Structure 1
Amino acid sequence: MANAYTDSNGVFKNLLGQTEAQALQVAEYGFPTARSIEILGGHVQLEAHGFGLQRLAVIHRHLFRMFYEWSGKVRTVPSSKRAELGGVTRFAEPDAIVKDWQALEPQTQGFAEARQFSFEDKCKALALIFIEANRIHPFPEGNGRSLQVFMQELALVQGVKLNYAKVSAREWNAASAVSGTHGRLFEGMHSASPEPIRRVFKAIGRDGALHCFVPSEPNTDKNVLRRRGD
């Protein structure tokens, strides 16, 4: 169904002038990978401080600015995502996005500033942050890929490296889907099931305490945006 962001065929209106969903997807999934490496490699300076919605929006803008006029801007329409076997995940309502992220930011900052966290504690905290950030889903498209970069930056502050290649796309997407409000539209919705995404973060995390991330310093880790989410 068309809305402010899509045409009559449900294809996102884009700066490339593409009207075919598959062609747009091919273009849109390739370029942001290089852009993400620029961010994590320290080759660009993000105009953002801390780990709140502002940083996530700047990341989104850098990844998708050549595709969408609304890159980096909070969505103004409701959002949901179809999962496998007819399921659906619902995200935060537009008027709750900023407020919900303001409530989450103390949690991200608390993680960044924490001392004497065990590796297991770090993975648990990262999973909980991801669950809420993913539930909010502030943009019309590109939330998953932007959030992956955001989570890598945040994790590195505590010396944790996230390797998304250690989990299959199917497992990642399934765990992400049930981490928020999910279910079947005609059978009722369910509350979050956090355990699957907790297991994922434990699996993809590696303790790299000798290399902690500082936003202005380079990092050459390139395993980001690997065919997951939106």
Structure 2
Amino acid sequence: MLRNKFTTPSKPHGETDPDKLRTMEEAITALRMRELAESPVKGQFDYDHMKAIHHYVFQDVYEWAGQERVAPVGQFMTKDGHTYYGAGPHLTEAAEQQYARLAQKDLLRGLGHQEFVEELAESWGELNVIHSFREGNTRTQFVFFSQLAEQAGYRLDTAQFAPGSTLRDEFVAARFHSQDTGRNDRLADVLRRGVIPS
């Protein structure tokens, strides 16, 4: 269990029941994400921008909202059989490289649909493996990449990726495939169906 802000006199470190915590966290972060859809966090689509989005979404839940993950330390970590970056300077450096790559590609502006989803999949797949935050990477990434798509002339149809939907299941499987193989082609195929010219 992660320490959280849902404290009471009998629970000074927050909610201790994992099911209750998940329900409360999902409710409040869904509200914050709806707010961001109406009034996005402004930024340069860099690491600070991603951190600001994470902070906004999780500000009611965790004290460390918006802060880079500090554990486990080491080159890599494994979660559910999939490898991610471990915490430390190499995580920060890898993240900064990916945001610099986005900037070098003019934030994916001016690209045709096919090229856009391929580049989007490349960035998303790499940032997912970096896994900057202890919790909430996927939700934060959806907000970030929705904003990125919009400024590039596309719309990420987030409703198609709702939990329980077929495309969501394919998206999760494609990200794991990306992690395990270093290839983002399956992720591009999924995103192609959820990214619409605006």
TM-score of the alignment, normalized to the shorter chain, above 0.5: yes
1:63 aligns with 2:57: yes
1:25 to 16, 22, 25: 22
Once the two structures are superposed, the pairs formed by residues 31-110 of structure 1 within 5 Å of their partners are 31-42=28-39, 46=41, 49-78=43-72, 79-82=77-80, 88-95=81-88, 96-110=90-104
Shift of 1:105: 1.3
Larger RCO, structure (CA 8 Å, separation 6 or more) = 1
Q: What does residue 8 of structure 1 align with? A: none
1:178 aligns with 2:180: no
| Contact 1:60–1:72, Cα closer than 8 Å, also in 2 | yes
Structure 1 Cα separation of the partners of residues 183 and 134 of structure 2? 24
Given the superposition, is the C-alpha separation of residues 15 and 196 from structure 1 closer, same or farther in structure 2, using an over 3 Å criterion?
A: same
| Contact 2:118–2:185, Cα closer than 8 Å, also in 1 | no
| Contact 1:75–1:138, Cα closer than 8 Å, also in 2 | yes
Once the two structures are superposed, the pairs formed by residues 1-230 of structure 1 within 5 Å of their partners are 11-16=1-6, 17-42=14-39, 46=41, 49-78=43-72, 79-82=77-80, 88-95=81-88, 96-113=90-107, 116-167=110-161, 168=166, 169-180=168-179, 182=180, 191-208=181-198
| Contact 2:109–2:151, Cα closer than 8 Å, also in 1 | no
**What amino acid maps onto 2:65 in structure 1?**
S
Shift of 1:80: 3.6
Structure 2 Cα separation of the partners of residues 160 and 111 of structure 1? 16
* RMSD (Å), alpha carbons: 1.7
TM-score normalised by L of structure 2: 0.84
Shift of 1:114: 5.1
SS in 1 for 2:67: coil
Shift of 1:175: 1.1
TM-score normalised by L of structure 1: 0.73
Structure 1 gaps, min length 5: 1-10, 83-87, 183-190, 209-230
**Percent sequence identity over aligned pairs:** 23
Structure 1 residue ranges (4+ consecutive) displaced by more than 3 angstroms after TM superposition: 110-116
Deviation digits for residues 119-170 of structure 1, max 9, x if unmatched? Answer: 1111111111101111110010001100110000111111110113335232
Q: What does residue 217 of structure 1 align with? A: none
Shift of 1:68: 0.6
SS in 1 for 2:85: coil
